[in-house]
Chain A
Amino acid sequence: MPSDDVAHTIPAAQDSCRSCWLAAPGLLWMILFFLVPLLLVLAISFASRGTYGGIVWEFTWANYLDLLHPLYGKILAQSLWYATLTTAICFLLGFPLAYVIARSPARWQPVLLLLVMLPFWTNFLVRTYAWMILLRHDGLVNHLLLALGLITKPLELLYTPTAVVIGLAYGYLPFMVLPLYVAVERLDPVLVEAAWDLYASRWAVLTRVVVPLTMPGIVGGCILVFIPSIGSFITPDLLGGARSMMIGNLIQHEYLVVRDWPLGSAVSFVLMGIVMAAVVLYYRQASPGDGPLEGR
């Protein structure tokens, strides 16, 4: 295209923003029902709790300081650990899957990607419930293991941290596969052949060529899995026991059971801080246009 075209301007752009007003109702809605509530939570996190669960508007750091208590600290640390473990499992399962999809015949790729994404769009509650059936005391997994003679009495699988991590990995595996697929798809297969030709072993091809060149996808996928994992509520609520609580459950607990809204708000903002840090990290490494939703 000749450089004559550099200054293409659509004439509509000249009568500056006549139709910008179209955006107003939607923006107003988001401000009123998204931004304002968030600011409200922020404000409450610095207030105190009244005697009967009400709010006393006195500025205090106490709620955040309370979070340093080992009881809350343990839940925070545990959440981080579960989310990290989930991310690792998703990577180990997702990378080969993404690689195979990206290297399969072009007409199969959309179908395979759809197959990966489809479960994600189904009801999360229901999918988590499916694992309850599988992991129950007399669930299918125990039945199978007993039948195979691998165990002599049923394992306690449900209501354990293991169940939580399995459920999370199950729920968010598609988030890992999608960015990895994009990264592998962009990787020119000739580069792999070139490395091979230059005496690289299979392991060396993987670690010296494939992994470095798909790094943006790897980091992106890991962050996209980590974000929903750390903030999950349903999975630990249904599959976890009292000892495998995560931040989301703590928030719900503080709000609806203990009715300590200021403390619940403080926990919310700590969670939001962790998520925002991950989001910033994501946008730092992602190239423009690779927003987390592009693939949805």
Chain B
Amino acid sequence: MKPRSVGLHAVSLLAMLFLYGPIIVLVLYSFNAAHLSMTWRGATLKWYAALWHDEALLAATANSLFIALVSTIGATGLGGLLALGMEQMPHRRQQVLEGSLVLPLVIPEVMMGVALMLLFVTVHVPLGLTTVILGHIVFNIPLVTIMIRTRLRKLDPMLREAAADLGADSWQVFRYVTLPLLRPAIWGAVLVAFTVSLDDFLVTFFTAGPGATTLPLKVYSMIKSGVTPEINALSALLLVVSMMGVAAALSLQRREV
């Protein structure tokens, strides 16, 4: 297969370049001293510094972190309990639920956004931070549940039997066997939910009211009003933060106990 594998490797390299080229360019140009040109005028950190003095941006960051924190706690709690509860259900019902939980993850986000907006408007709930958090919990529950279920299903049922055989009651089985074995999956789910919430644009776009501007909403409005070096710096920061979050989440997910 040697000759063809040269071609294969070339295309693969191209694909990798396609994936990372734009990101690298973006990060690189966030250090470019030139104001609006692609020409390189030397490295600077001034665009990053400028971010620090943008009050609106800092407020949006605070909002984003708050929303991500609360919705992650909510979704991890609700989704984790859902996963544990599903485990005890008849097999058939588990399958149906599992299928339904995929739905929120595949339907277009635009649609989830408008549907939530319609609900809040219909029942006269003013759009604001609360509505955004409610919405974020909705798309994070299935993520958390599926991640924890994946781990639960990989657990050897014999371990729980062994614990019971050694005198553990059902609470002790959960406390000393199931929970410790689930811990990496739970932390993984927390990190993923936090990252997804932090990055979400569309659901937030439709459910946020005045005073609930998040970082992605702010970035969007900045982009819409024209390309500036500050956006480059902000974007580079966001990229690095979410990549670190995900790398941590994945290493937790994969870690063997």
Contact = CB atoms under 8 A, between A and B. Distances in A.
> A contacts B directly in the complex (CB < 8 Å)?
yes
B114 A27 contact: no
A26 B3 CA distance: 54
A55 to B, nearest CB: 9
B92 interface: no
B122 interface: yes
A134 B1 CA distance: 36
A241 B247 CA distance: 35
A139 B26 CA distance: 11
B8 A100 contact: yes
Interface string A253-280: 0010000010011001001100100010
A21 interface: yes
Contacts of B38: 133, 138-140, 143
A130 B138 contact: no
B110 A233 contact: yes
Interface in B89-134: 89-90, 97-112, 114-119, 122, 134
A52 interface: no
A91 B100 CA distance: 28
B78 interface: yes
B44 interface: no
A71 interface: no
Nearest to A256: B206
B242 A19 contact: no
B20 A119 contact: yes
Interface stretch (B45-53, B55-63, B79-87, B179-187): B79-87
Given A121-B246, A238-B223, A271-B111, A23 B8 contact: no
B146 interface: yes
A17 B89 contact: yes
A100 B1 CA distance: 12
A120 to B, nearest CB: 9
Interface residues of B, number: 96
B238 A123 contact: yes
Contact of A8 (B84, B89, B157): B157
Interface in B23-79: 23, 25-26, 29, 37-38, 78-79
Contact of A127 (B15, B22, B85, B88): B22
B223 A132 contact: yes
A30 B141 contact: yes
A291 B157 contact: no
A170 interface: yes
A96 B15 contact: yes
B118 A251 contact: no
Interface residues of A, number: 94
Nearest to A92: B11
Residue from A33, A202, A265, A283 with most neighbouring chain B CB atoms (10 Å): A33
Interface string B231-257: 110010011001101110010001000
B15 A118 contact: no
A173 interface: yes
Nearest to B115: A37
Nearest to A193: B1
B213 interface: no
Nearest to B98: A291
A265 to B, nearest CB: 8
A109 interface: no
Contact of A93 (B18, B115, B243): B18
A41 B137 contact: no
A26 B141 contact: yes
Contact of B242 (A26, A121, A255, A264): A121
Contacts of A192: 1
Contacts of A94: 15
Nearest to B19: A119
Contacts of A110: 254
Interface of A: 8, 10-13, 17-27, 29-30, 33-34, 36-38, 40-41, 44, 92-94, 96-97, 99-101, 110, 114-119, 121-127, 129-134, 136, 138-140, 143, 169-170, 173-174, 177, 192, 196, 202, 227-228, 230-234, 238, 247-248, 251-252, 255, 261, 264-265, 268, 271-272, 275, 279, 283, 291-294, 296
Q: When A and B form their complex, which 6 residue pairs have the shortest distance between CB atoms, in order from nearest?
A: A231-B108, A23-B85, A26-B82, A22-B85, A37-B115, A130-B22
15 contacts: A23-B86, A23-B97, A34-B115, A96-B7, A100-B12, A101-B12, A121-B199, A125-B223, A127-B22, A133-B22, A170-B19, A173-B15, A173-B18, A173-B19, A202-B4
Given A10-B157, A228-B108, 8 more contacts: A22-B84, A29-B78, A96-B12, A122-B199, A123-B199, A134-B22, A238-B223, A272-B107
Interface of B: 1, 3-5, 7-9, 11-12, 14-16, 18-23, 25-26, 29, 37-38, 78-79, 81-82, 84-90, 97-112, 114-119, 122, 134-135, 137-138, 141-143, 145-147, 150, 157, 160-161, 164, 170, 192, 195, 199, 201-202, 206, 216, 219-220, 223, 227, 231-232, 235, 238-239, 242-243, 245-247, 250, 254
